[in-house]
A and B are shown apart, each in its own frame.
Chain A
Amino acid sequence: MKKFLVLGLLAGKICFGATITVAAAADLRFVLQNLTALYKKEYPHDNFKFIYGASGNFYNQIRQGYPIDVFMSADTRYPELLYKQGFAYKPRPYAIGKLAIYTTKNMDISNPKSALLKAQKIAIANPRVAPYGIAGISTLHCYHIYNQVANKIVYGENIIQTAQYVASGNVPVGLVSYSLLLAPQLGLKGKYELIPQPCYKPIVQGATVIKSTKDEKASMRFFNFLYSPQAIAIWKSFGYGIPR
């Protein structure tokens, strides 16, 4: 009886494809919806479960045995560390993120520096776990205003929570990922302006397949898809740069 059950489950897997659980950096919340829609056109039998959060949190959880298949970080450091520690296969960068200043208030943000100085509060992701938070803090240093605004910073747990602080009107201005703002859910709520590039290091984002994956083939299938020409078109449409 048990044997048949196992056979049945196996058969089910072959017929119905796999469920791929992806832990993804929060800046990917909207772009991945488009990406997977495209993926499912090619592999209609694969299903997805997405968990969005701060890359650093995922890094810690994966080391504790977090049962996911693919990890899409907002930097390359965390996937590289997991690879070196034997938790993951060799990572590869899939996109380069950009930072933007975002507001839903009636304020001028064409000069980010003066907007940040004027704002009563500034939303930034927690730099200890969120790579976009590191970019946010280095922007403040680059403008030489960190010491003046340090006590106005409101830290979000991850970059989408940070954006939500601004979108809800609770914080007047935030430094968030450009990709989130290109999604209508957030972008249409306010206005945004890219932060000039030399102010922060390019946010190169890497992905990796976790070694404890239950279905390596399916995980690799999705991992490889991230670098396909169709996927690159989606990355670009959400404002990401493409790593060489």
Chain B
Amino acid sequence: MDSEPFLISFELSTITMLILGIVGIGISYFLAFKRSIIVDILEPIIMSPLVLPPTVLGFYILEIFGVSGSVGKFLNHFDLKLVFNFWGLLIGSIIYSLPFSVSPIIAGFRAIPKSLIEASYTLGKSKFHTLLKVIIPNAKYSIISALVLVFSHTIGEFGVVLMVGGDIPGKTRTASIAIFDYVQELNYKDANISALILFSIAMISLIFLQILKRLQER
């Protein structure tokens, strides 16, 4: 069996997780404590990848970032390409997994007693200081859950990475796509091994999330 698809999957998932950790905290901080029409509009947009078919996302990403897309055309002048390579996978994964980062973190932020945050302000701490020293530590379980969810969700991606990445061996063929290819070639042995590895990763992360939940409840 080829280990390359797994390396690509792990690389993609790790980078997506790190980026979405930071982006998720930023967006959640912006959304969690506000009550305005902007929040009511932004939240559904951010959550939309949860319910959108991956083909819709893949199609739009190709339309926008492909060589004939609006952004893609512009980037072409600088010889930059964002589809059919690792960058394309990364853009797709970040958009696709965004709700898995934002949703638990927002919930975590909103569960923090308001008095705690206000106490920090009253004691003269800045907003940023409060975020770093009060809000994030109090939502640490939610943030860790978000990271685990993003990692495993990115590993499990199929439709978006297939459309935007194009199944290029050694470049954009992720583990989930490799299984699809193995089955087509009737290579059930490698399909089995790969599937078992992905299944184990999924189970481990879900069990880990369960443990986190118990820890949080204590």
Known: A64-B68, A160-B184, A167-B186. A53 touches B84 (CB 8 A): no
| Total CB contacts across the A-B interface at under 8 A | 49
Flag if B186 contacts A186 (CB, 8 Å): yes
Q: How far does the alpha carbon of A227 sit from the alpha carbon of B85 in the complex, in Å?
A: 31
Q: Which of B151-180 contact A (CB under 8 A)?
A: 166-170
| B135 contacts chain A at the CB level, 8 A cutoff | no
| B91 contacts chain A at the CB level, 8 A cutoff | no
**Residue numbers in B under 8 Å from A50 (CB-CB):** 169
Q: How far does the alpha carbon of A89 sit from the alpha carbon of B170 in the complex, in Å?
A: 26
Flag if B168 contacts A21 (CB, 8 Å): yes
Main secondary structure on chain A at its contact with chain B? mixed
| B22 contacts chain A at the CB level, 8 A cutoff | no
Q: How far does the alpha carbon of A14 sit from the alpha carbon of B202 in the complex, in Å?
A: 44
**Residue numbers in B under 8 Å from A167 (CB-CB):** 186
Q: How many residues of B contact A (CB 8 A)?
A: 19
Q: Mark B64-83, 1 if CB is under 8 A from A, else 0.
A: 00111000100000000101
- The chain A residue with its CB closest to the CB of B163 is A61
For the complex formed, measure the closest distance between the CB of A14 and the CB atoms of chain B, giving whole angstroms.
21
Q: Mark A10-49, 1 if CB is under 8 A from B, else 0.
A: 0000000000010000100100000000000000000001
Q: How far does the alpha carbon of A164 sit from the alpha carbon of B182 in the complex, in Å?
A: 11
Q: Which of A47-67 contact B (CB under 8 A)?
A: 49-53, 61, 63-67
| A197 contacts chain B at the CB level, 8 A cutoff | no
Q: How far does the alpha carbon of A164 sit from the alpha carbon of B167 in the complex, in Å?
A: 19
Name the one of A51, A61, A66 contacting B169, with C-beta atoms under 8 angstroms.
Answer: A51
Q: How far does the alpha carbon of A52 sit from the alpha carbon of B181 in the complex, in Å?
A: 9
| A185 contacts chain B at the CB level, 8 A cutoff | yes
Q: How far does the alpha carbon of A27 sit from the alpha carbon of B24 in the complex, in Å?
A: 45
Flag if B186 contacts A65 (CB, 8 Å): no
Q: Mark A64-79, 1 if CB is under 8 A from B, else 0.
A: 1111100000000000
| B183 contacts chain A at the CB level, 8 A cutoff | yes
Flag if A185 contacts B167 (CB, 8 Å): no
- The chain A residue with its CB closest to the CB of B67 is A65
Flag if B68 contacts A61 (CB, 8 Å): no
**Residue numbers in B under 8 Å from A52 (CB-CB):** 181, 184
Flag if A49 contacts B184 (CB, 8 Å): no
For the complex formed, measure the closest distance between the CB of A24 and the CB atoms of chain B, giving whole angstroms.
12
For the complex formed, measure the closest distance between the CB of A74 and the CB atoms of chain B, giving whole angstroms.
15
- The chain B residue with its CB closest to the CB of A53 is B167
Flag if B67 contacts A67 (CB, 8 Å): no
For the complex formed, measure the closest distance between the CB of B172 and the CB atoms of chain A, giving whole angstroms.
10
| A179 contacts chain B at the CB level, 8 A cutoff | no
- The chain B residue with its CB closest to the CB of A186 is B186
Q: Mark B180-218, 1 if CB is under 8 A from A, else 0.
A: 010111100000000000000000000000000000000
Flag if B186 contacts A64 (CB, 8 Å): no
For the complex formed, measure the closest distance between the CB of B164 and the CB atoms of chain A, giving whole angstroms.
10
Q: How far does the alpha carbon of A29 sit from the alpha carbon of B84 in the complex, in Å?
A: 22
| A161 contacts chain B at the CB level, 8 A cutoff | yes
Flag if A185 contacts B186 (CB, 8 Å): yes
Flag if B169 contacts A67 (CB, 8 Å): no
| B62 contacts chain A at the CB level, 8 A cutoff | yes
Flag if A65 contacts B84 (CB, 8 Å): yes
Q: Can you name 5 extra interface pairs (CB under 8 A) apart from A51-B166, A63-B67, A64-B66?
A: A26-B184, A29-B185, A52-B181, A65-B72, A67-B81
Binding site for B on A (CB under 8 A): 21, 26, 29, 49-53, 61, 63-68, 158, 160-161, 164, 167-168, 185-186
Binding site for A on B (CB under 8 A): 62, 66-68, 72, 81, 83-85, 166-170, 181, 183-186
Shortest beta-carbon contacts, A-B, top 3 = A65-B67, A64-B66, A49-B169
